[in-house]
Structure 1
């Protein structure tokens, strides 16, 4: 089973577990009903932005729809500027943390919508210079540097001076 099929199967299961119709999830996430239907059937390539919109409404981390990193599949999902490969998922009683190997394309900027309340992101830069975080107060981090921001508000990723490689930690606190 390929990435599209697995993501589609998992999205449909999560949607049904949440008791949401296709129409209701589409409405709440801002993703078109036709797009959602094609994603669930494995006929459409998922984008990072679309998957975040859907998993945020479902109250689940992005890793809930991606391949288990321990299975060795390591397929990435791309957005307008960022490609992310899930490399680890850790969960305890307080939070779920997804760990991604990310690449931000040279000269590109990606706007990311707000995630679930109290979600945070941290980027450790391996190479290049990233401009990330809240649009009104972006942080710049170079090789060996890091940035941390609240991801429950719109945020950005940029690579104004060449491709960036890094490790991104996304922490989703459990809701009460």
Structure 2
């Protein structure tokens, strides 16, 4: 999806969610911590959202990130070319959403995730579970005070509701697959940890 199309998808989803929840722009700004001017730009399709912005909106609406970033389609075959994907970037991470899967009681989002050396991506937490598989490089991921070290082929799953980080273990970049798992209704109880040490 080219950047302009991604911006229009986010704008349409943002308008629809705000109407669905009956929120004024001021109330959404309060809940998300995002300035009204920035929200206005995002709703008009002229904004440039960051990872932090999209996750703040996800938390404010209590919906998966993919609810904000994807159009609903159900083709029999899905082919995604990375060159056509919009990139959500932060100081340390580039995310490309590859797919959203809506199952009976669970929503999965699949991302191509690249972590740049020398920076740390911090999250204060959000709904769901994070599943991470490293394909190249050495990744530190999980609780800020005791992150897990993953190398190529390693996998970890942890509750996303608690603070967590992403950081390279050395000076090389990391390529990984991030799978976000959410309860479909976002109203379920806190998910149990599935971390395997």
| Number of equivalences | 174
Aligned mates of 1:109, 1:160 — CA distance in 2: 10
Q: Of the candidates 27, 34, 48, which is equivalent to residue 45 of structure 1?
A: 48
Q: TM-score, normalised by structure 2?
A: 0.82
Normalised by the length of structure 1, the TM-score is 0.91
CA, structure 1 residues 113+77, in 2 after alignment: closer, same or farther (shift >3 Å)?
Answer: same
SS at match of 1:2: helix
Matched, 1:151 2:154: no
Looking at structure 2, the residues matched to 6 and 94 of structure 1 have their Cα atoms a distance apart, in angstroms, of: 24
Q: Which position in structure 1 is the counterpart of 2:177?
A: 167
Structure 1 residue 140, shift from structure 2 partner: 0.8
Which of 120, 125, 141 is residue 114 of structure 1 equivalent to? 125
Q: Which has the larger radius of gyration?
A: 2
* 2:52 alignment partner, SS class: helix
Partner of 1:26: 29
Runs of 4 or more above 3 Å deviation: 67-73
Offset, 1:71: 7.8
> Aligned-pair distance for 1:110?
0.7
* CA distance in 2 between partners of 1:71 and 1:131 (Å): 30
SS at match of 2:69: coil
**CA RMSD between the two structures:** 1.8
8 Å contact from structure 1 (residues 107, 160) kept in 2: no
* Partner residue in 1 for 2:192: none
Could you tell me which of 123, 128, 136 is aligned with 1:127?
136
Equivalent residues of 1:91, 1:97 under 8 A apart: yes
Equivalence for 2:191: none
Query: Cα–Cα, structure 1 residues 71 and 29, in superposed 2: closer, same or farther, change >3 Å?
Result: farther
Instruction: Summarize the alignment of residues 17-96 of structure 1 with structure 2, pairs less than 5 Å apart.
Output: 17-68=20-71, 70=78, 72=80, 73-96=84-107
Q: What residue in structure 1 maps to residue 8 of structure 2? A: 5
Which ranges in structure 1 are unaligned for 5 or more consecutive residues?
none
**Secondary structure of the corresponding residue to residue 65 of structure 1:** helix
Shift of 1:80: 2.1
